Structure 1
Amino acid sequence: MLIRLVTALVALTAGPALAADWPAPVQAMADQGLTIHDAFEAPGGLTGYAASYQGQEMAIYLTEDGEHAVVGNLVDAEGNNLSLAPLERLVRAPQDNQLWQDLGNSHWIRDGDTDAPRIVYTFTDPNCAYCRQFWEQTRPWVEAGKVQLRHIMVGILEHDSPRKAVSLLAAEDPSAALIANHHGEPVEWLETLPRKWEVALLENHQLFESLGFQATPSTLYQRDGLVEAAHGLPEAGQLSEVMGSEEPAGTGQ
């Protein structure tokens, strides 16, 4: 099932304005733990403020007299939620931009063309049968040069998963070693793990846990500039959304 990703525990590329800038009712909510990101225009004499709490975006509306504030969605006469667009622009988009950078700076193994127009990140455990199935499902897009998968290695399923994950990351040709593992071919599993790659695996685990993921594969991709997540194997009809297009013609599975 595809689930809209609520980005947690990521810092914004640009911090919110100084607390002294907020009107008293808004500052009171900041004192209670909300992060205030920016103000935006709102109808009816209100002033909107884009806020978040533990990664979840929310809107605050200051009354015209500046003495009171309401937290919630503003709806017009047609039932349209007027809070969605400013929250997406002022809260979610900056968070997702930072998350995409964090994913790029993680420790991953490339699977596919370096010049592929679309990048998809997936958390992969070397012992994960579902990861293997996802890898097989994605071959048409990867082999057509349309998608580059970046496997962020974790070791969470079996007692030897960490050793295997580190061995793949530290391999002379990590991409070839990953493919061999997915094919069930022999891979050189290290007995002594380089400290550098143990730390790299730990950092991958921290990122995995900070996003609230619990199982592999957990896959992240971009749609309309925002980051979305797919947990487990994408259901029928959803794989093309993750890959960004319909299955390339003539590939067949």
Structure 2
Amino acid sequence: MRYPVRTTAIGALTLAFTGPVLADDHWPAPVDALVEQGLTIHGEFEAPAGMTGYGASHSAGEVAIYLLPGGEHAIVGTLVDAEGNNLSEPELDKHVRAAQFAEVWQDLEASHWIADGAPDAERIVYTFTDPNCPYCRQFWQEARPWIEAGKVQLRHIMIGVLASDSPAKAAALLGADDPAAALNAHSGDGEEVAAGPQSREIEEQVYANNQLFDSLGFMATPTTLFRDGDRVDRIEGVPGPERLEEAMGGPRP
């Protein structure tokens, strides 16, 4: 069973990155040594104190490399200024994560979801929803002010991971004559959806959603994703008040 995390916030998704890679067979020796150890270089940038920075990734995430003047030594890690500002994160966002974020958002758009809210809402939020998840129902309720004000469209990517009948219930919601009304009755009115047989196409949609959920490394339901500028942020479990406003794009209407 997957246990929801009440409030988990990260600024970046830690995912396998398959975006553009800098093509260069002539890295400075320290950078080349790191490439030989398994790092992939995605971008080069100017750094303070005469250093050259490189945005890199490996199997566990992203990292910044700083080549010292002279080109004989490199430092791997986070660069901060006199005020303690992290100078590495913006460069990693730009050179490593930008394509990653765009790819993730495209995958969410292409998934199989039920729209909750106005089609012309100014903000789109995706959430992975299991029909047997009480926290998903709680999140549905807490999002009502933004949904009813027409400010947010919440797109429920229906998955089946919590119980043996979760996939069938998710398929029943996706395959309903009016999926939005069926989800509203299930989440808002407490009308438990019946796990009836569905077409092979609908069953495959649930399977594809489950695969996406797993491929992104998620564990809790709901897991909610939204844009924060050029970034894609996520919340696992039911968000607290501040994080809820972040996800919804502003204060409660």
TM surpasses 0.5: yes
What residue ranges of structure 1 are gaps of 5+ in the alignment?
A: 249-253
Structure 2 regions of 5+ residues with no counterpart? 1-6
RCO higher in 1 or 2 (8 Å CA, sep ≥ 6)? 2
State how far apart, in whole Å, the 2-side matches of 1:135 and 1:82 are. Answer: 37
* Counterpart for residue 136 of structure 2: 131
Structure 2 counterparts to residues 1-253 of structure 1, below 5 A: 1-4=7-10, 5-12=12-19, 15-54=20-59, 56-182=61-187, 183-185=189-191, 187=193, 189-191=195-197, 193-248=198-253
**Residues 67-109 of structure 1: per-residue CA shift (max 9 Å, x gap):** 3222112233443332222112112222112211111111111
- Alpha-carbon distance, 1:63 to partner: 2.4
Aligned length: 245
Distance 1:90 1:163, change over 3 A: same
Give the CA RMSD over aligned residues.
1.8
Superposed CA offset, 1:92-146 (max 9, x none):
2221122111111111111111100000100000111111111011111101110
TM-score (normalizing by structure 1): 0.89
Q: 1:55 to 1:172 in 2, by over 3 A?
A: farther
1:210-249 per-residue CA deviation (whole Å, 9 max, x = no partner) reads: 222212111111112211111111113332111111111x
TM-score (norm 2): 0.89
Q: What whole-Å deviation, never above 9, does each CA across 1:155-174 have from its counterpart, x for those lacking one?
A: 11111101011121122221
Higher deviation after alignment, 113-122 or 40-49: 40-49
Partners of 1:246 and 1:110 in 2: how far apart? 22
Structure 1 187/40 Cα, relative in aligned 2: closer, same or farther at 3 Å? same
**Distance (Å, rounded) in 1 between the aligned partners of 2:105 and 2:132:** 26
Task: Give the C-alpha shift of residue 21 in structure 1.
Answer: 4.5
Mapped contact 2:165–2:195 kept (Cα < 8 A): no
